[in-house]
Chain A
């Protein structure tokens, strides 16, 4: 299944991903800005302020009421890191008109609503209203503080923070509590203007048909904006090799410890360039046929989960596991042994075939999920024109065992983060 690209204005592209199997239409505006510590917090706050009020709906309760009447249309607000860039996503998902109780025209109303939220916010004299800003700041701060609650996410976040201390990628995607506290209505207005003027913009539409006039409206709106210095979102600096393994231990009152290992990869960048890395990561710790699942979990019984993830655009590979305190060293050693086996070319036909089949099968499911498709077409930033799931599937099917061994040899341990249960460990 393919897509069409329409250039709507300078640095603004409209992607129509035609797909008739869904009951809903999904439209997302994806704004890409450079990721840096000075601006990340106010950028991150923007999608949340913009999706809770607007000039037409100054009170968020009025907006919520309208969304309910649109059959529970769902607004999407996201701040995400994609390589060295910050992705701000603002979107809407609405059920198709034909499913309404009284043949109502939902899609056109949803589009008007979304455009109003992005381009006609609730501002006065060049500032967002203090009430709106303070409300969303409070929620953002609680969200940042809330990240401590889920220890697996927290531990993975701490690894990235330590691994990229001096690089943009080490920036937390929502910024710090201190940075959020400093944001005011004027600063947020400037952030909004900057986003509209300088962000590279990708508008994804996933539907059976392109809503009439949508791209023209978007195009006309952006042509009125003085677009300059548009972000070149294709340049991400890959992870550097660390000469010495960085080790961080922290103690907490938990019953299970967390072991997270971060590796640099020689392969980095686009999906095409990282095809071998994708298969390598999957054989090491993807499905239940992987080396870590079969050896570290099933054979040595060291943990319940031990999962590998490759962040291709960064040339980063992580392994994360929940283990008890006394097994921390043993688990790290077991993980390293499995990686070493791959570097020595120890990849059985069974492992290779199982992984290939699972990866290739999973690519076919992308077209069955609107959310997966939207994510796919918003995080593919290493190439100006994103690859389709079918194209990538074709490239991956050509990966050979030698390529995988070579990719494994390019993996170097960079940082180990351990969250260790305090002495009074519960049983």
Chain B
């Protein structure tokens, strides 16, 4: 096992160890805390619908299968993992997003026992036709719950209007129709590909001993041979499909998401771009910006307004979202402001304030064991040192970020709106 230690600017650091199997292990000791947080994750999410193992045929699987697999992995022949965690008192859970699936627990006692359970159940798939069928009903209810969530709908309506091919456009849990096509054999195929340790990572933060933890992991890992997964790029570097989409819903006030599509060739955008684009979003319409003040004064946005640079493997979009009685007007004002900034440049005072704010936010993320562990996951999935963000923030200049303004293509946007039913 190779080891590398990363020193952080906050008086703490973390260790990255790489096992012979290719598994990456990230550990941040936080001895002053009472609890610990551990995740066992795979670089596998809802966007991995077409894939292959080098030298083997290309496979296309039903939408929502990564999430389905997450649900099923908790079961084994002897019982489910929840009942094993119930014996230790840990709080266990799992989640699936576009590009990752993570299994996790938090606990204050019996950390090493809990880690053994986590390592064991994630490495022990057990799928039968009967248990797959049972899960279809439960996930069907979960899908309906998302169908009724306007915040969820407005986002996916935007993504499905922005992307023609890239699977980021599909629901993470799939649809009731797509999950009906899932069977045990398909689950095993996905498992054998993406749950190979060479595609996985373990991230831990808390009151633990690094050496003891590494030893335990080494002993618990089942033998495996690293594989090379082939992921296919989606040719989506073109204009958005639709510039405007709307849906009516039982809501009282319209909800909107405005997305600026950024065409990227493949892989993920660099961390520097993420940091600079996030700074720009704050300068364009963050709470300290003149545009934010004028939109609030005009009664066009409220405290629900926010922005994000939404990125992952093969996709990137700058997003503004919120509630508004007039989403089209908000969208138009944001675009005008971007044009102004391109012409006039950036206010240096605002830049300096926003830089401080983002720096403070980065410091805050390490305030809990959960926050620290989630940072390690981000680093593991994206392949960067988690402290790079703070280093970039310290050194970035206003002139540097100005060039990223061109990444906002005002002619390649989608405005997604959820309208109250009465307006039909």
| Interface residues, chain A, with chain B CB atoms under 8 Å away | 20-24, 59-61, 64-65, 67-73, 94-95, 99, 101, 135, 138-139, 142-143, 145-146, 148-152, 252-256, 287-289, 297-298, 301, 303-305, 322-324, 350, 353-354, 356-358, 360-362, 364-365, 367-370, 426-427
CB contact under 8 A between A68 and B35, given known A23-B367, A322-B144:
no
**Could you say which residues of chain B place their CB within 8 Å of the CB of A61?**
288, 290, 292-293
Sample of 18 A–B contacts (CB below 8 Å):
A23-B366, A68-B288, A72-B358, A73-B360, A135-B299, A142-B302, A143-B303, A149-B150, A288-B82, A289-B83, A289-B86, A297-B138, A304-B145, A350-B83, A353-B87, A360-B89, A365-B108, A368-B34
CB contact under 8 A between A252 and B141, given known A23-B363, A99-B10, A288-B86:
no
**Could you say which residues of chain A place their CB within 8 Å of the CB of B150?**
149-150
Q: Contact at A369–B368, with CB atoms within 8 Å?
A: yes
Q: Would you give the shortest CB distance from B248 to chain A, in whole angstroms?
A: 9
Q: Contact at B288–A65, with CB atoms within 8 Å?
A: yes
**Could you say which residues of chain A place their CB within 8 Å of the CB of B364?**
23-24, 72, 95
Q: Contact at B292–A99, with CB atoms within 8 Å?
A: no
Within 8 A of A (CB), among B242-261: 249-253, 255
Q: Would you give the shortest CB distance from B73 to chain A, in whole angstroms?
A: 14
- Is B91 at the interface (CB under 8 A from chain A)? yes
Q: Would you give the shortest CB distance from B177 to chain A, in whole angstroms?
A: 9
Q: Contact at A22–B367, with CB atoms within 8 Å?
A: yes
Q: How far is the CA of A17 from the CA of B56 in the complex (A)?
A: 60
Q: Contact at B287–A64, with CB atoms within 8 Å?
A: yes
- Is B199 at the interface (CB under 8 A from chain A)? no
- Is B109 at the interface (CB under 8 A from chain A)? yes
A148: contacting residue among B108, B251, B302, CB under 8 A: B251
Q: Would you give the shortest CB distance from B201 to chain A, in whole angstroms?
A: 23
Within 8 A of A (CB), among B68-109: 80, 82-83, 85-92, 106-109
User: Which of A135, A305, A364 has the most chain B CB atoms closer than 10 A to its own CB?
Assistant: A364
Q: Would you give the shortest CB distance from B42 to chain A, in whole angstroms?
A: 22
Q: How far is the CA of A151 from the CA of B249 in the complex (A)?
A: 11
Q: Contact at B363–A99, with CB atoms within 8 Å?
A: yes
Q: How far is the CA of A61 from the CA of B34 in the complex (A)?
A: 40
Q: How far is the CA of A72 from the CA of B361 in the complex (A)?
A: 6
Q: Contact at A60–B356, with CB atoms within 8 Å?
A: no
User: Closest residue of chain B to A145, judged by CB?
Assistant: B252
Q: Mark B1-43, 1 if CB is under 8 A from A, else 0.
A: 0000000001000000000000000000010111100000000
**Could you say which residues of chain A place their CB within 8 Å of the CB of B286?**
68
Interface size on B, residues (CB 8 A): 72
- Is B354 at the interface (CB under 8 A from chain A)? yes
**Could you say which residues of chain B place their CB within 8 Å of the CB of A23?**
10, 363-364, 366-367
Q: Would you give the shortest CB distance from B95 to chain A, in whole angstroms?
A: 14
**Could you say which residues of chain B place their CB within 8 Å of the CB of A427?**
176
- Is B323 at the interface (CB under 8 A from chain A)? yes
Q: Contact at B302–A287, with CB atoms within 8 Å?
A: no
Q: Mark B282-298, 1 if CB is under 8 A from A, else 0.
A: 00001110101100110
**Could you say which residues of chain B place their CB within 8 Å of the CB of A146?**
251-253, 304, 323
**Could you say which residues of chain A place their CB within 8 Å of the CB of B255?**
149
B108: contacting residue among A149, A150, A364, CB under 8 A: A364
Q: Would you give the shortest CB distance from B64 to chain A, in whole angstroms?
A: 14
Q: Would you give the shortest CB distance from B281 to chain A, in whole angstroms?
A: 13
**Could you say which residues of chain A place their CB within 8 Å of the CB of B228?**
none
Q: How far is the CA of A426 from the CA of B255 in the complex (A)?
A: 21
User: Which of A20, A60, A142 has the most chain B CB atoms closer than 10 A to its own CB?
Assistant: A142
**Could you say which residues of chain A place their CB within 8 Å of the CB of B181?**
none
User: Which of A22, A298, A361 has the most chain B CB atoms closer than 10 A to its own CB?
Assistant: A361
Q: How far is the CA of A354 from the CA of B35 in the complex (A)?
A: 18
Q: Contact at A60–B296, with CB atoms within 8 Å?
A: yes
A304: contacting residue among B80, B142, B293, B296, CB under 8 A: B142
**Could you say which residues of chain B place their CB within 8 Å of the CB of A139?**
302-303
- Is B397 at the interface (CB under 8 A from chain A)? no
B144: contacting residue among A101, A142, A255, A288, CB under 8 A: A255
Q: Would you give the shortest CB distance from A165 to chain B, in whole angstroms?
A: 23
CB contact under 8 A between A72 and B360, given known A288-B92, A297-B138, A427-B176:
yes
**Could you say which residues of chain B place their CB within 8 Å of the CB of A322?**
141, 144-145
Q: Contact at B145–A69, with CB atoms within 8 Å?
A: no
CB contact under 8 A between A350 and B253, given known A68-B356, A256-B148, A301-B134:
no
**Could you say which residues of chain A place their CB within 8 Å of the CB of B304?**
146
Q: Would you give the shortest CB distance from A379 to chain B, in whole angstroms?
A: 20
Q: Contact at A252–B142, with CB atoms within 8 Å?
A: no
Q: Contact at A68–B354, with CB atoms within 8 Å?
A: yes
Besides the contacts A67-B357, A289-B83, what 18 more A-B pairs have beta carbons closer than 8 Å? A23-B364, A61-B290, A68-B354, A68-B356, A72-B364, A73-B360, A95-B363, A146-B251, A151-B148, A255-B147, A256-B141, A288-B85, A289-B82, A301-B138, A324-B141, A364-B108, A365-B106, A368-B369
